[in-house]
């Protein structure tokens, strides 16, 4: 098996945007995760937020961010997303966020799913920062991806 290399560097070590023009389009999907850790008193006050429902606003922000990933991360390609879904759930530790993205393209959607969960988490922070500055955004990671030359990936359970 060929050893993986960093594709954003050319032979001289200069940063470059990867040329995907020779790749075939294929269906590609990705799922990502993040956690906004909240103290119990802050968690109890989420429903009372005068700015609106933090979970719904975070969900919409994550969707919007996924669509603009290429504008935020310099070497990402603009992708036509065929689907993006963001889910924010309350749990005892805080707000757990999942995002799923898909496209039919020449490159994957991992960065779009990761951008979605990160911006959604930052939006939760923004919505409740007046209550607590010690909020933590944790555990941002790729859960799985499908399609493309590198094949499928599924994060192993720890």
Q: What is the pLDDT of residues 143-156, one digit of tens each?
A: 999 998 888 999 99
What number is the average pLDDT over the span 18-44? 92
Q: Assess contact for 98 and 120: CB atoms under 8 A.
A: no
Nearest to 119 by CA among 101, 145, 144: 101
pLDDT at residue 148, rounded to an integer: 87
Catalytic residue among 126, 132, 139, 152, which?
A: 126
Domain presence at residue 18:
no
Which structural domain, as residue segments, surrounds residue 46? 26-148
The share of the chain scoring above pLDDT 90, in percent, equals 71
CA–CA gap between residue 141 and residue 136 (Å, rounded): 15
Q: What is the mean pLDDT of the chain?
A: 91
CA–CA gap between residue 72 and residue 11 (Å, rounded): 26
Confirm whether 126 is a catalytic residue. Answer: yes
What number is the average pLDDT over the span 39-59? 90
Alpha helices by DSSP H, listed for the chain, are 40-44, 54-67, 69-72, 110-128
- 133 - beta bridge partners? none
pLDDT at residue 100, rounded to an integer: 98
Phi and psi, residue 86, nearest 5°: -125, 135
Band of residue 158 on the pLDDT scale cut at 50, 70, 90: low
In order of 69, 86, 121, the CA distances from 81 in angstroms are: 11, 13, 21
Domain presence at residue 107:
yes
Domain presence at residue 21:
no
Domain presence at residue 16:
no
- Taking the model in full, what pTM does it have? 0.90
What number is the average pLDDT over the span 127-138? 94
pLDDT at residue 125, rounded to an integer: 96
**What is the CATH classification number for the domain harbouring 64?**
3.30.70.640
The domain total for the chain is 1
- Which residue has 């922070």 as its token pair? 125
pLDDT at residue 48, rounded to an integer: 84
């Amino acid at each position: 098996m060929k050893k993986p290399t960093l594709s954003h560097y050319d032979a001289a070590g200069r940063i470059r945007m990867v040329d995907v023009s020779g790749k075939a389009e294929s269906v590609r999907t990705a799922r990502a995760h993040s956690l906004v850790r909240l103290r119990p008193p802050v968690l109890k006050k989420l429903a009372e937020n005068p700015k609106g429902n933090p979970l719904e606003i975070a969900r919409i922000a994550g969707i919007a961010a996924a669509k603009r990933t290429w504008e935020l991360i310099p070497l990402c390609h603009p992708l036509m997303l065929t689907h993006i879904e963001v889910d924010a759930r309350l749990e005892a530790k805080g707000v757990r966020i999942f995002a799923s993205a898909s496209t039919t393209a020449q490159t994957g959607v991992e960065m779009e799913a990761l951008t979605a969960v990160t911006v959604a988490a930052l939006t939760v922070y923004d919505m409740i920062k007046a209550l607590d500055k010690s909020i933590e955004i944790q555990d941002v990671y790729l859960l799985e991806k499908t399609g493309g030359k590198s094949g499928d990936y599924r994060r192993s359970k720890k």
